[in-house]
Structure 1
Amino acid sequence: MNVISPNNLSTVLVIDDETRSQDAIRRTLDEDFNVLTAGSADEGRAVLERQQVAVVLCDQRMPGMTGVQFLKEVRERWPDVVRIVISGYTDSEDIIEGINEAGIYQYLLKPWLPDHLLDTVRRAVDARSLQSDMHRINLELRTSAPVLRARAAERQAVVRDAFDFRRIVRAPGSPMDQVCEIATRIARYDLSVLVLGESGSGKELLARAIHYASPRAPRAFVMENCAAMSETLLESELFGHKRGSFTGAYEDHVGLFQRADGGTVFLDEIGDTSPGFQVKLLRVLQEGEVRPVGATRAIPVNVRVIAATHRNLEEDVRAGRFRQDLYYRLAGMTLSMPPLRERSGDIPLIADALLQQASRELGKPAIRFTPGAVAAMMAYPWPGNIRELRNEIFRALALSDSDEVAAHAFSSKVLQGQPGTTTLNGRHAPGHAGIPQSGTLQERLDAIEAVILKETLLRYRWNKTHASKELGLSRVGLRGKLVRFGLEEK
């Protein structure tokens, strides 16, 4: 038996009567753990009485008693120690019979693979560490429960406020006002919601706002992009799986539906799922229970489902690409997110919020966009919506040499604009960065001036005093220009 080392939560005790087996295991684990060895149950017991050990690795066949018999004793006397038994194929039935009574974490068959042994012990040590943390947390909870409850309530209030519908950036009169109004009304009811809209239009943000405005807000909000993985992986991720149910399933996995029990599951890009998965999801929604892959029993779950897609699901239903019964299960209420090109009045405010975010994340000071930059952003149709706008702003700030972001920092596609972009007073006209391709020079200059006036007023929430100060105009001069360009009535 080797010399006992100081206490260590990463200490592993190996009990095997064969010295060669001890040495092989030691060589596999030595770089990551403090490895102690013992040649019998009596020697192992002596180590445990003097030494703090995280994991016991025990051979099944030992003189005097079996590994399972010894691990039963370990469970009674040292319940925090994680127990692993190693055996040959002929001993597996005896181990299975005693695995619950001994509380064995896992058993390994000979000949074991070094990588598998190392991975198993790592997970066992992590489990021990997690168990210790849970004991500590439980003790803290018992001694300071009132304080923690108060802090939890404060954190919940902060989260609710962060995802409130008011935090969805938009200008007065935005098309998003009606969407948010309807979503606010239905949030308190346990209806399934289907959110339609182009990629990057903010469907996830709306789903979070619905969750945190609902009675389910104290529980989890989880999300999964259904287009990002295969049917098998998606089923495992959402519904869970049992250890050994397929190749690579080394341990039980709790699915997102179970983790969100009492809360909300957001399924993004639901329209891209396979017919096979649609059948399984429909069964979950109808029966209110999930069956993990490889499990024999279903588990009841209570979740609200919010689904989203960029596809036209009604058309997919007619074409047979999407199940009609699942569609009606998901579409208890349907909300349509307008693309950014249809809410150009929101662009200055959204861009300003993204600029402040970029400033914090990149560590670069940023005060404002130049009028030319705003005009360029409002002239471009943003096919990638808010996600594309965010990327352009981060790029522009990274390339800017001052605290102002100018139009030349944007990519060429934004500077060139696209046909059909919104310009003066919401009318559509082809052009480059908001400049019409036809008309006199004065008419083109008027178009640019109108865009700048509109952007400035939107940014200051139509406060004419602040807007006139920034533009270097008197209030009378500003009002005259608003009347001239037909903006005063707004």
Structure 2
Amino acid sequence: MPSVLVVDDERNSVDALRRTLEDDFEVLTAGSAEQALDLLGAREEMLNTDVPVDVILCDQRMPGATGVEFLKRVRQRWPEVVRVLISGHSDADDIIAGINDAGIYQYVLKPWLPAQLVTLVSEAVEARTLQNDVRRIELEMRSDGGVLRQRARSRQEQVQLHHEFSRLVRAPDSPLNEVCRLAQQVARYDLAVLIQGESGTGKELLARAIHYASPRTTGPFVMENCAAVPDNLLESELFGHKRGSFTGAYQDHVGLFQRASGGTIFLDEIGDTSPTFQVKLLRVLQEGEVRPVGANQAVPVDVRVIAATHRDLESEVRAGRFREDLYYRIAVFPLTLPPLRERTMDLRVLVEGLLLQAGHDLAKPVRGFTDEALACLMTYPWPGNIRELRNEIYRALALSEDLDIGADLLSARVLRGRPGLALADGAADAASLPRSGTLQSRLEAMEAAILKETLLRCRWNKTRAAKELGLSRVGLRQKLLRLGLERQAEPRS
């Protein structure tokens, strides 16, 4: 089991890090730089190795030596140990010193998220293993270079494969796991892949992962959204054109198929192309060459095609809107990405990862969502998939003034747990009405939804909520008691 040394003078921080990591790593702890150095020296002697631990997680601000000073000494004595600096302050000087003096692998800003920290440490261990493999192979290549170059290349491909597919965040029991397994299998073969799925499910991410896990990984990855460009411009963009071939063609233009030669071209929303363009694309795929607009000669191209669409192309073929022969050209290996509503087990880890990214992008500290807010995020069906979830998280963080993001900062549609227009003036859209039950029970459910949405938006300020709803505070309290909506004290998530 890989070993991790946690160095922090705050007991609570040490305990939190140990609980997060102990299921996957051997966790050692030290309360100061001096104590950590003694521990490392003792392990070096006991294990008879110059790598006493795999990874060190060290707090920057401690009594005595700072984190950078400690990691600088570690770098001098045990250079192969991966060093990670943790701090609650985004001090540029600390970051620069950590990189230049201590050679840190990563700088982690508090508050960190458990899932992301486990991933970071796993990648650090993988990086150290790869570094050792490369060093060993370089030494062995002096005697048998050809075989070892192949082994080194194979190892590099394995690491690249793991890295790219790890960006498709998912839980151990996610339905996305089977899609990724199939994608990893087909990545090594030069076959056309069709990725189907609703908008926002991550089709581009999967296409990139396939490219970088393929033998074409050193070639370019070029993409085009076919739905965003008119037919005449799409032909020029993909196949190129010669100067003077049409009005505005002031110079020769190299198309994306030529630019992608030796690599992969990703044709997003291919289902939105016209039958006329489909004929031209089919010829390119059949012949392996493109003819730029206005050119007399065709140009050979060597590309792998990955196409994607939110449409059901088999239905489009039956309806006559998509050419059957083109469909079978691009769908040699079809993959379907499940929508987010079918990946409820992935929501928590997705929320943690997106919130961490939002904190970095907005340069805003955040601890997490409250239990009430997380429950709202978990029950909403996310028709816009990951893209909608990302937007909701960024919006909530932008509005937040605390380390914990409450449910009152979420959109009205998320608070109701279903998509649709926001509640206004005490009215609700038809989609939010219960589908069964007596008239009285359905009216009560409707009333409860309105009350809860208003209270969340008013941060449970009952005076303000009662005024907005045209009720007295006593009347509001009676309704809450009758409907069982009194707020529970909620622990921080």
Bin for the TM-score computed over the shorter chain: 0.5 to 0.7
In 1, Cα distance between equivalents of 2:246 and 2:162:
41
1:364 corresponds to which residue? 364
Counterpart code for 1:369: F
The structural deviation recorded for 1:403 is 1.9
Q: Describe how 1:412-431 pairs up with structure 2 within 5 A.
A: 412-418=412-418
1:346 corresponds to which residue? 346
In 2, Cα distance between equivalents of 1:442 and 1:264:
61
The structural deviation recorded for 1:167 is 2.3
Q: Is the counterpart of residue 407 in structure 1 residue 417 in structure 2?
A: no
The structural deviation recorded for 1:369 is 1.4
Counterpart code for 1:416: R
Secondary structure in 2 aligned to 1:316? helix
The structural deviation recorded for 1:162 is 8.4
1:275 corresponds to which residue? 275
1:96 corresponds to which residue? none
The structural deviation recorded for 1:407 is 1.5
In 2, Cα distance between equivalents of 1:253 and 1:365:
46
Q: Describe how 1:301-340 pairs up with structure 2 within 5 A.
A: 301-340=301-340
Secondary structure in 1 aligned to 2:171? coil
2:166 corresponds to which residue? 166
1:197 corresponds to which residue? 197
1:217 corresponds to which residue? 217
Is residue 270–residue 308 contact of structure 1 (8 Å, CA) maintained in 2?
yes
In 2, Cα distance between equivalents of 1:208 and 1:432:
42
The structural deviation recorded for 1:442 is 13
In 1, Cα distance between equivalents of 2:202 and 2:331:
18
Secondary structure in 2 aligned to 1:382? coil
Cα deviation digits, residues 264-304 of structure 1 (max 9, x gap): 11111100000111000000000000111111110100111
Counterpart code for 1:404: D
1:228 corresponds to which residue? 228
Counterpart code for 2:242: K
1:95 corresponds to which residue? none
Counterpart code for 1:190: D
The structural deviation recorded for 1:164 is 1.6
In 1, Cα distance between equivalents of 2:332 and 2:324:
13
Counterpart code for 1:324: E
The structural deviation recorded for 1:158 is 12
Counterpart code for 2:298: A
Counterpart code for 1:350: L
The structural deviation recorded for 1:157 is 7.8
Is residue 192–residue 306 contact of structure 1 (8 Å, CA) maintained in 2?
yes
Is residue 200–residue 385 contact of structure 1 (8 Å, CA) maintained in 2?
yes
Residue 443 and residue 211 in structure 1: after superposition, are their counterparts in 2 closer, same or farther (change >3 A)? farther
The structural deviation recorded for 1:328 is 0.2
Is residue 220–residue 259 contact of structure 1 (8 Å, CA) maintained in 2?
yes
Q: Describe how 1:25-424 pairs up with structure 2 within 5 A.
A: 160=160, 164-418=164-418
In 2, Cα distance between equivalents of 1:384 and 1:377:
13
Counterpart code for 2:218: P
Is residue 220–residue 263 contact of structure 2 (8 Å, CA) maintained in 1?
yes
Cα deviation digits, residues 353-388 of structure 1 (max 9, x gap): 111111111111122111111111111111100011
The structural deviation recorded for 1:305 is 0.5
Contiguous gaps of at least 5 residues in structure 1:
1-152, 422-428, 436-440, 454-469, 472-490
Cα deviation digits, residues 64-92 of structure 1 (max 9, x gap): xxxxxxxxxxxxxxxxxxxxxxxxxxxxx
**Bigger radius of gyration:** 1
1:19 corresponds to which residue? none
In 2, Cα distance between equivalents of 1:158 and 1:184:
11
Is residue 417–residue 432 contact of structure 1 (8 Å, CA) maintained in 2?
no
Contiguous gaps of at least 5 residues in structure 2:
1-152, 420-430, 433-444, 453-480
In 2, Cα distance between equivalents of 1:432 and 1:351:
24
Residue 344 and residue 183 in structure 1: after superposition, are their counterparts in 2 closer, same or farther (change >3 A)? same
The structural deviation recorded for 1:163 is 5.2
Is residue 275–residue 323 contact of structure 1 (8 Å, CA) maintained in 2?
yes
Secondary structure in 2 aligned to 1:292? coil
In 1, Cα distance between equivalents of 2:366 and 2:308:
34
Is residue 171–residue 345 contact of structure 2 (8 Å, CA) maintained in 1?
yes
Runs of 4+ that moved beyond 2 A:
156-163, 429-433, 441-445
Aligned-residue RMSD, C-alpha:
3.3
Is residue 377–residue 414 contact of structure 2 (8 Å, CA) maintained in 1?
yes
In 1, Cα distance between equivalents of 2:162 and 2:245:
40
Secondary structure in 1 aligned to 2:194? strand
Secondary structure in 2 aligned to 1:164? helix
Is residue 207–residue 266 contact of structure 2 (8 Å, CA) maintained in 1?
yes
Counterpart code for 1:174: S
Is residue 238–residue 257 contact of structure 2 (8 Å, CA) maintained in 1?
yes
